[in-house]
Homo-oligomer: A and B are copies of this chain.
Amino acid sequence: MKNSQQNRTYCLVTSCPDRVGIIAAVSQFIAQRGGSFEESNHHSDHDGQRFFMRNVIDANSLSISLAQFREQFAPLAQQLEMKWHIRDSDTPQNVVIFASHASHCLSDLLYRWHSGELNCDIPCVISNHENLRSIVEWYNIPFHYVPVDKGDKAPAFAKMNQIVTANSADTIVLARYMQIIPAELCRDYAGRLINIHHSFLPSFIGANPYQKAFDRGVKLIGATSHYVTEELDEGPIIEQDVIRVSHSCNKDDLVRLGRDVERAVLSKALRYHLQDRVMIQGNKTIVF
């Protein structure tokens, strides 16, 4: 639904206390520097306290550099008490993917990245199993095998942290990585650590959601992509979807059908994230 950006663009994302004149001030700032909008999105939260804005600007239309933009915009942003950032589409984010044994989400992300659907670099994939090495390396992406010792997970996560840091990861994606992420990593990557949970949250939190869905006899199963917080499966939801099932499906059918939903939902969530469409407010998201 969200349209593609083919030209070089700058994406300016802001949030600030709501008041009269924010759009006017920002759009005038941009217009005075020749900026032409490719897309512009606004949202006031429902109690009218905070205002969110995303502006995609044709980079070539601007009379100033990105550095100059940052410098000149800062005083206005300060005056409006803004939280803001601006991103150059020609500087893709580094996305490190954590995977486990299951291949469907990882394969789908790699395929879409290779097809140009995901504007990012993937410096490496980390997994606690070896079985996906071959497909990752087919894409010429380094694969790091970091097994997790059930008795002492700390060394594995230390190792993973080191790889993440060495690769300057902007965003981490858990592509059905089945380990609970340490609180510290959750905090360090708040709003930049994306998970796919194989249920329609808040139904079936935790382990074995397909078994739970089968046992409850639901008529639709789903998947949820969310930012990871320290509370398991409770972080801000980015995207969800469902698929119809029936009494003729056994648990393995749910798993099979669910795979298609999981990979569709995760890839959409990541795409929105990479396009700076997702803003977090409290425990909810705005997805422009």
Chain A residues close to B by CB (< 8 Å): 1-4, 6, 20-21, 23-25, 27-28, 30-32, 34-40, 42-44, 46, 61, 103-104, 107, 111, 115, 117, 134-135, 138, 200-204, 216-220, 222, 236-242, 244-253, 256-257, 260, 264, 283-287
Chain B residues with Cβ below 8 Å from A287 are: 219, 246-247
A40 CB, min distance to chain B CBs, angstroms: 5
> Hey, which chain B residues are within 8 Å of A1, CB to CB?
244-246, 248-249, 257
Q: Is A250 within 8 A of B200, CB to CB?
A: no
Query: How many copies of the chain does the oligomer comprise?
Result: 4
- The verdict on A219 contacting B239 (CB below 8 Å), with A31-B21, A138-B138, A252-B4 known, is yes
Question: Are A61 and B20 touching (Cβ within 8 A)?
Answer: yes
Whether B237 and A218, one on each chain, are in contact in the complex, defined by CB atoms closer than 8 angstroms, is yes
Q: Which residues of B contact A61 (CB under 8 A)?
A: 20
Whether the Cβ atoms of A240 and B217 lie closer than 8 Å is no
A247 partner residues in chain B, CB cutoff 8 A: 43, 284-287
A113 to chain B, nearest CB (A): 13
Query: Cβ of A244: which chain B residues have Cβ within 8 Å of it?
Result: 1
Neighbouring B residues of A27 by C-beta, 8 Å: 23-24, 27-28
Chain B residue with Cβ nearest A237: B217
Of chain B, the residue at the smallest CB distance from A238 is B219
| Complex Cα spacing A250 to B39, Å | 13
Q: Could you say which of A117, A134, A220 has the most chain B C-beta atoms within 10 Å of its C-beta?
A: A220
The answer to whether A250 touches B111, judged by C-beta atoms less than 8 angstroms apart, is no
Residues of B with C-beta under 8 A to A217 = 236-237, 283-285
Interfacial chain B residues near A242, Cβ < 8 Å: 220, 242
